[in-house]
Structure 1
Amino acid sequence: MFHPAALIAAAILFAPPAVAGQSDPTASVRLTFETGAQTGAVMVALYDQATYAEGAPIRSARIDVAAGEASVAFDGLADADYAVKAFHDVNGNGRMDTNPFGLPIEPFAFSNNAVGNMGPADWDRARLPVSGQTVQTINIR
C-alpha cells in the first residue's frame, strides 16, 4: 500500500543541504505557507523533476510556525522547474503523523496548491517554473 505521509516526511527530513553541480545559479523561490494552526512547524522539501517522484529533495527547510514564521527562501537555484512537498507538523514531534492505515492526519500540501489522487500530486500539477525571483503562497490545511 502506498504511504504518502511516510514518503513525504522521510524525504523532507533527509534532504541534502544544497544543489550540487550548478554553475553560478542566481534564481530563487520564496514560499509562504498559510496554516490552519499556529503550532509546530512546516517541513518543506524542494525537488527537481528527476527527484520528485522518489528521490531525495534538492533542498529542505523547517519553518517554525509556533514562533510566528510563515515563509522560507531557497536561493542559488538554476532557472528550471521545481516542485514542493510540505507538511505541517502541528504537534511538533518531528514527523508526519498517520492513522493506522498510513494516511496522513496532519495537513500537507504541494506547490501550486496541487492536489494528489491517492498520493502526492503529480509533477505536472505541482511543477513550479523558477526564473529569477519566484514567489508562491501555499495553503496547508
Structure 2
Amino acid sequence: MKSLILPMLSLLLSGYQQPAATLKIEITNVKSGHGKLWFAVFRPGEKFGEGQPSIYKILEVKSTANHAATFQLAPGQYALAVYHDLNKNDLLDKNFIGIPKEPYGFSNNFRPKFSPPKFEDCAFELTASGKQISVKLTN
C-alpha cells in the first residue's frame, strides 16, 4: 500500500500547473503612427535580446497614442525587450556599428550605455496577483 502512495502522488502533481498571472505592459513615447510593436518576454537562462524568444507578441501601430499588451504567465522572474518596427521588415534595424535605428525599450526602463543590457538589468518579478509595467521607447 505504501509503495503505491508515492507513484500516485507523483502522477497527480505532474498535471498541476501554476496558475497564470497577468502582466500588463504600457508602451509610451510612440512617435510614429505606423509599423509594428514587437514585445519579447524572456525567462532566466534564456539569451536575453537574442534570437526568437519563446514568449512574444506583435501589435499593429495605428496611432501615436500609448499602446498596451497583456500576457498570461506563470509567476516568476522575467525581462522584457520591445521595439517599434517602423518599416515592418520584422527586424530591429541597426546602423553600421550595431546601434538600433528604430525605437526600443526595456523593462525597468533600462537604458544601455555602451553594450546591450543583460537579463539582470531588466529583470522584474511577476507575482500571482499580477504586475503592470510601463516602458518608454527611445527617441
Same fold (TM > 0.5): yes
Query: Aligning the two structures, in what range does the TM-score lie when normalised by the shorter sequence?
Result: 0.7 to 0.9
Question: Mean Cα displacement is larger for which, 96-105 or 79-88?
Answer: 96-105
Are 2:35 and 1:40 equivalent residues in the alignment?
A: yes
Q: How far apart are the structure 2 equivalents of 1:107 and 1:74?
A: 22
Q: How far apart are the structure 2 equivalents of 1:135 and 1:28?
A: 8
**Which stretches in structure 2 are left out of the alignment for 5+ residues?**
1-14
**Is contact 1:85–1:109 with CA below 8 Å preserved after alignment?**
yes
**Is contact 2:78–2:124 with CA below 8 Å preserved after alignment?**
yes
**Which stretches in structure 1 are left out of the alignment for 5+ residues?**
1-20
After superposition, the CA RMSD in angstroms is 2.3
What percentage of residue pairs aligned between the two structures are identical? Answer: 24
Structure 1 equivalent of residue 3 of structure 2: none
Give the length in aligned residue pairs.
120
Are 2:67 and 1:70 equivalent residues in the alignment?
A: yes
Larger Rg: 2
Structure 1 residues 111, 61: closer, same or farther in 2, change over 3 A?
same
**Is contact 2:26–2:66 with CA below 8 Å preserved after alignment?**
no
Q: How far apart are the structure 1 equivalents of 2:16 and 2:120?
A: 24
TM-score (norm 1): 0.73
TM-score (norm 2): 0.74
Q: How far apart are the structure 1 equivalents of 2:67 and 2:122?
A: 20
